[in-house]
């Protein structure tokens, strides 16, 4: 026989568990942040203290408005092709909790960990990050993008 006291204890436990389950987001929850489309990967070469990236007909950075994650042995960089011969380059490490930014959507770089978004100049558009990404000077000549690191 269940006593009133036992019933109240079990009912309270069930309500507590239901409340906790309602607060925790599940995988693929519609409230989870979008991670954007995966950035294409490009290899860069370190030459004389700078990163060199070839921009040719096969490069995912050929078109204005494109972006890529440039991988090198000195770190990863986010690069955006912003105008005919202009590029921006910044660190690929999110300023919120140091995740590598791997997504791009609506001209914004998207961190897959907590959804921080940065514009193509590295400025925070949406948090939780509050600091901009570190930018690097770029130069484009003879189909070679040079990133000063």
In total, the chain counts a number of residues equal to: 149
Range of the domain at 61: 34-148
Spatial CB neighbours of 94, under 8 Å, sequence gap ≥ 6: 100, 101, 111, 113, 114, 116, 129, 133
Q: Measure the CA–CA gap between 104 and 65, rounded to whole angstroms.
A: 11
Whether residue 28 is contained in a domain is answered as: no
Whether residue 14 is contained in a domain is answered as: no
Q: What is the pLDDT of residues 18-74, one digit of tens each?
A: 444 343 333 333 345 567 789 999 999 999 989 999 999 999 999 999 999 999 999
Whether residue 60 is contained in a domain is answered as: yes
Q: What is the mean pLDDT of the chain?
A: 83
Residue 14 reports pLDDT greater than 70 = no
Binning pLDDT at 50, 70 and 90, where does residue 2 land?
low
CATH number of the domain within which 75 lies:
2.102.10.10
What is the tally of structural domains in the chain?
1
Residue 136 reports pLDDT greater than 90 = yes
Q: Where would I find the H helices in 24-114?
A: none
DSSP state of 15: H
CB-based contact 72:46 (threshold 8 Å): yes
Residue 109 reports pLDDT greater than 70 = yes
Whether residue 27 is contained in a domain is answered as: no
Whether residue 126 is contained in a domain is answered as: yes
Whether residue 29 is contained in a domain is answered as: no
Whether residue 84 is contained in a domain is answered as: yes
């Amino acid at each position: 026989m269940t006593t009133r006291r036992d019933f109240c204890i079990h009912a309270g436990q069930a309500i507590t568990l239901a409340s906790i389950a309602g607060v925790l987001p599940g995988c693929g929850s519609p409230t989870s942040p979008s991670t954007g489309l995966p950035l294409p990967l490009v290899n860069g070469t370190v030459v004389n203290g700078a990163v060199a990236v070839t921009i040719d007909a096969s490069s995912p950075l050929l078109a204005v408005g494109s972006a890529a994650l440039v991988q090198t042995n000195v770190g990863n960089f986010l690069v955006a092709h912003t105008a005919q011969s202009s590029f921006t380059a910044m660190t690929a490490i999110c300023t919120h909790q140091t995740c590598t930014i791997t997504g791009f959507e609506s001209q914004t770089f998207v961190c897959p960990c907590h959804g921080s978004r940065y514009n193509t100049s590295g400025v925070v558009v949406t948090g939780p990050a509050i600091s901009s990404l570190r930018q690097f000077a770029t130069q484009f000549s003879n189909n070679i993008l040079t990133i000063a690191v």
